[in-house]
Every structure is written in structure tokens, then in C-alpha cells.
Structure 1
Amino acid sequence: MDFSFMSVVWLGTPLWLWASFFALVIAILSFDLGILHKENKEINVAESVKLSAFYIALGLSFGGFVWWYLGAESGLAYMTGFVVEKTLALDNVFVIALIFSFFAVPRIYQHRVLFWGILGVIVLRAIMIGVGATLVAEFSWVLYIFAAFLVFTGIKMLVMKEAEPNVSDNALVRFMRSRFNVTEEHHGERFFVKLVNPKTGKMTWFITPLFMALVMVEVADVIFAVDSVPAIFAITTDPFIVYTSNIFAILGLRALYFALAAMIHRFRYLKPALAVVLIFIGSKIFVADLLGLEKFPAALSLGVTFAIIASGVVWSLVKTKEEQLPA
């Protein structure tokens, strides 16, 4: 069989490299669902930490491969995107916790929602990144719009107090409840269930709160992608680096959730650091132009990004610990 077509370059990267990446992702998800979580069970904090470490190591190892095969600049861009996306995911964890709490999703079924949510994320991010890559390739000035948007978003995060999302007042929740048959209680791990409709007396398909939680998790990711996708394009315009760094950062979100959900309050002061990171990533495109540089140095970009995030994490942990100490 002739596999010469695998050497064809697609979106700037050989097709075999894309195929290898997707094969690896499928293998990881199959291992996760088919072996680690073949049966529904609660994921405790210890298991969550171990799984998180595994996914982080996997993401960093892939970054090492990118560095070795595509060069240091691509490797640094991947690492920067991975770190930024992983940190932005902390906000996502907070919103997911609110969604699970509102729909009273039993802890034993939360992994199921997150797993299928990740599958949706892989497809949705591919679409958003594909559109972004096309726009940047056709209209280079779009990159400056992305950069300005990041600076604006970062400043807004610093100066404005963000209100806690109100899931009960969400338009999508109201729409689903008004247009579809929705059960009030959970039916195990099922997203859909056939029950007698009290209005017609006939057997009818109902959606369960578990499915509504899944829809809300997907929508939350799309909203967060509005920040993260422009951020990674401001780091690199290589579609392969953009997509792989995003997906490897998100793959471990399920495991990370169970470790962070119980201690998300300890990262209360991390948001200002995230805001500064967005401002830095957006502004470095304009700084590079002012200095007459073709690109902002990748090593400096990674170093500054990591330093800001690390400072935010340390400051947050110290401040929240002080608040918990008795007066």
C-alpha cells in the first residue's frame, strides 16, 4: 500500500504528523474510558493528582518532541501555549463546579460529563482554530485585532469586579427547559431517558439534568475559547502548534478538575496574574513592531509568562493561607 500521501504538507505540517497526533489522542481517551474508568466511580483527590501529573507529563513530553522535530522556536511556542491554556483552564474549573452544583450532578457521574465534554472540545477547538488560522493567513492584520482584544480583556479583568455566573438565570437553561422534555431528577449515568409524558400519557424521550450539565460545560468552553484561542495565535500562527498545545492542555482538565474543585478558593488571587499574562501576550506583538523585530523572542515570552503565572500562584496560596489563620 502506498503511504506517500502521508508526506503531503497540510496546514504547514506533514500529514503523518497530524495523523500521529490524532492517533495518540484517541489512544489516550480509549485508555482513559476503556481501562481507567470502565465503570463509573468517584475520583478521589489522590487519583486526580496522579492523573493530572500523568497528563501534564504527557503534554510536556509532546512539547519535547515538537522541540526536537520542529525546532527550538516551535518547541518554545508550544510550551508557552500549553502553560497559558493550562492556567486559563483554572477559570473553567470554577465554572464547571458551579454547573455541577446547580444541576446536583453526583460526583460518581461527573467524570462521564467531563469525558464527553472533552470530545466536544476537541471538535469545537478544531473549528475555531481552523477559522482563526484561515483569517490570519488571508488577513494578517487580524492578528493585531486578536492582540488588541487580549490587552482589552486583560485590563477589563484587572479593573472590573467579575460577578459570579448565575446558572439558574442562564438563557440556554431556560430555553432547554421550555422547548424540551426535561426530567427533574437524574437517571443514573443516562443523558436521555424514555418516560411517560404526563401531558399526553405516551412514552416520550426526555433529557436529563446530566445532559443539560454537559451542554452547559460545552458552552462554557466556547466562551473561554474566546480568550484562549486569540492568546495562542498571539504566541504562534502555526496551526499545528496552536491546536496541539490547546488539546494537550485540555486533555488533563478532567483529572485536574477533581483535584482543584475542592481547593479552588486557594487560587482566588490568580485572576490578576492571568490578566497580566493576557496583556503581555497581546502587547508583545506591538512591542515587536516598535522594536523592529520580526517576532518577539520565544524564550523571553515563555520565561515572562511562566514567571507571571508562578508569582500569581504563590501569591494566591500565601494570601489564602493567611486568611485561614486564626486572628
Structure 2
Amino acid sequence: MVMTETMFLVGFVAFIAAILLLDMFVIDRKAHVVSIREATVWTFVWIGLALLFAVFLWFHGDMVHGIENFNDLQTVASKYASHLKLHPDDFEMSLQQYRHYMTVSYISGYLIEKTLSVDNLFVMMMIFTSFGVGKNEYQHVLNWGILGAIVLRFVFIFLGSAIISRFDWVLLVFGVVLVYSGVKMYLNRNDKAEMNVEKHPLVRLLSKTGRIHTQFEGDKFFVRRAGRLLLTPLFVTVLVIEFSDLIFAFDSIPAIFSVSLDPYVVFFSNIFAILGLRAMFFLLAAISDKFRYLKLGVCVLLVFIGVKMLIHEYVEIDAVASLVFILGVLGISIGASLFAKKS
């Protein structure tokens, strides 16, 4: 099974890499300001791909783990979904049950990551504004930012899964962190986010090397001056975005482990959510003022997920109930925002 899991993961990563390379070097090779229409179309394209993968999991999710018999299924379920009641005398029904559990967990994880990403997108807007990045270069920076985010998530998710499998009390730590983050976000929800570029710890560290170029040079990340290779402000912007995503991952990854302990499901949901972030960024930049209560919804989700992790030993909130709650919070926060906008 380990070999099958590895092969599937390699194939998945290769598929994602091919999509990213096609997107970066063919479709969006020429820098331009992304319109609302283009952002909307690509947002639905990425959502469509994510839903197609959900369909795959619903019918063939067992292929991820290479499950061939009931013993294989029992081994996988004992690691990632011990609460499921499998039936040894009906392998097909048990297998279908696990596929459906994977699918619901994947969709829940995808929605959580998408929702939590909203706050991170606002941070990205602030970073672009603070560094004075031209709008036609947003796309270029976000492409590399997303690529870096995928690498970070791969490391964090599989490392986190390995830690949880050995020390299950880590889930309690994750729960406390998420509740704290949700309460803190609620208390600071009306604060205006600002950034002093010169005082940012990463910028200060890079400044000490004396290798930061003071001016933008189109879409170049590096320039050579007097025989020295210098970092342009555009490259520093990418590094700061990666730094912010690193901080953001401390909330988002524990949150997704609340709906599934399967690192593959967590990774798949994370990646498909991240792939659509660039298009979502441009769409959100245009309509961000229309969703005033979405941040409040994020706060509620963080607290709910944190509490769920804290009580998982005593109360099991199943995947379907979690998905219904997540959809309900999203629907209410978006609906309340649109209603408030009209009135």
C-alpha cells in the first residue's frame, strides 16, 4: 500500500506541476492587469477541477491507498478513521463507506482552506500596496507565491501527520491554537491592517546583506550591478508573501486536520484550494467591500474547529455534520453581508 500511495502522490504532484507550468509560462506568460471577468472565469475553472477530484474520490478514493481487500481497508481506516463501523462480511459496502468519508472530508477541508484564505488574501493586498508593486506584476508574484505555498504545505502536512500519529495529544494543542486564533481575530476584526516595509523582520534581515536593489526592474527578481547579484523589490515581495503564508499555515493546516487525519486528503484539499487563490485574489480585490461579515464567519469556524478538536475524545462530530455546519456559516455570513449591503 505504501508504494501505491507514493506513486499516486507522485502522479498527483506531477499533474499539479504540469497545470502550474502551463498556467505560468503559456497562458499567463504576458504580464497584464487581470479583469473581474477573467478572475471570475478562472475562479470557476479551479472550483470545477476541485469538484471533479471530489467525484473521483467518491467513486475511486480507495486507489489513493491501494486498498485491495478488507484487511487493507481496515488498516487504513484504523489510522485515519477509526470511528467508522466497517462490515467484514460486506467489503464493497465498507469500501464505499470509506470513499464517501474521504470525499466529505476533502470537501470540508477545501471549504475551510478557502474560507481561511480570505484573511490571507487581504494580507497579500496589504503587502502589494506597502511595497508599491504595480498591478500588472501581481500575477507574476502570486504565481511564485502559490508555488512556494504548495511546497510548504507538502512539508507541513506530512510532517504534521507523522507527529499526530505518534503523539495524538498534539490535536489538543491544535485545538487551543485555533480557539485562540478565532477569539483574537474577532477582537481585532475592526483593526486596520498596516505594514511598515522597512521594519518587517525579513526585510531587515535581507537589508543587512546589502544586496537589496532599491528600484523595480520590470518583472525581474534579480539584477546584476557592479558585478554583484542584487534582489529586486519584486523578489523581496515574494519572500514576504511566503513568510506570511508560513504564519497563515499554523492556523489552516491544524484546522483541516480536524476533518481528516488522512494526510493525503488534507494535502489534496489544501492544494486545490491554493490553486484557485490567485484568481480569487483578483476577484476579492474587486468585491471585498461587499463581504463585511465574512471575517466574522472565519472567526466562528476557527472556534468551532478548535472546540471540535478539544472534545474529539468525548464527542465525535461526524464529517457530514461538520460539512453542514461549515456550509451554514459560509452561507449566513455571505448572505448577511449581501443583505447589509442592499439595506
Q: TM-score, normalised by structure 2?
A: 0.84
Is 1:186 aligned to 2:179, yes or no? no
Alpha-carbon separation, structure 1, partners of 2:206 and 2:118? 27
Alpha-carbon separation, structure 2, partners of 1:160 and 1:254? 26
Which residue is 1:290 aligned to?
A: 314
Is 1:26 aligned to 2:26, yes or no? no
Is residue 182–residue 302 contact of structure 2 (8 Å, CA) maintained in 1?
yes
Which residue is 2:339 aligned to?
A: 318
Alpha-carbon separation, structure 1, partners of 2:210 and 2:154? 29
The one of 231, 241, 244 equivalent to 2:255 is 231
Structure 1 runs (4+) deviating above 6 angstroms are: none
Q: Residues 77-96 of structure 1: matches in 2 within 5 Å?
A: 77-96=105-124
Alpha-carbon separation, structure 2, partners of 1:317 and 1:227? 27
Q: Residues 1-327 of structure 1: matches in 2 within 5 Å?
A: 8-9=1-2, 14-70=5-61, 71-161=99-189, 162-168=191-197, 169-195=199-225, 202-291=226-315, 295-322=316-343
RMSD: 1.7
- Cα 1:321–1:181 change in 2 (3 A) is farther
**TM-fit CA distance, 1:173:** 1.9
Aligned residue pairs: how many?
304
**TM-fit CA distance, 1:23:** 2.1
Alpha-carbon separation, structure 1, partners of 2:314 and 2:153? 32
Alpha-carbon separation, structure 2, partners of 1:167 and 1:96? 14
**TM-fit CA distance, 1:175:** 2.4
Structure 1 gap segments, 5+ residues each: 1-7, 196-201, 323-327
Q: SS at 1:260's partner residue?
A: helix
Is residue 99–residue 167 contact of structure 1 (8 Å, CA) maintained in 2?
no
Is residue 127–residue 195 contact of structure 2 (8 Å, CA) maintained in 1?
no
Which residue is 2:88 aligned to?
A: none
Structure 2 gap segments, 5+ residues each: 62-98
- Cα 1:182–1:283 change in 2 (3 A) is same
Alpha-carbon separation, structure 1, partners of 2:291 and 2:181? 20
Alpha-carbon separation, structure 2, partners of 1:263 and 1:116? 24
Q: SS at 2:211's partner residue?
A: coil
Alpha-carbon separation, structure 2, partners of 1:235 and 1:37? 35
Alpha-carbon separation, structure 2, partners of 1:204 and 1:95? 32
**TM-fit CA distance, 1:167:** 3.6
Is residue 174–residue 309 contact of structure 2 (8 Å, CA) maintained in 1?
no
Is residue 167–residue 173 contact of structure 1 (8 Å, CA) maintained in 2?
no
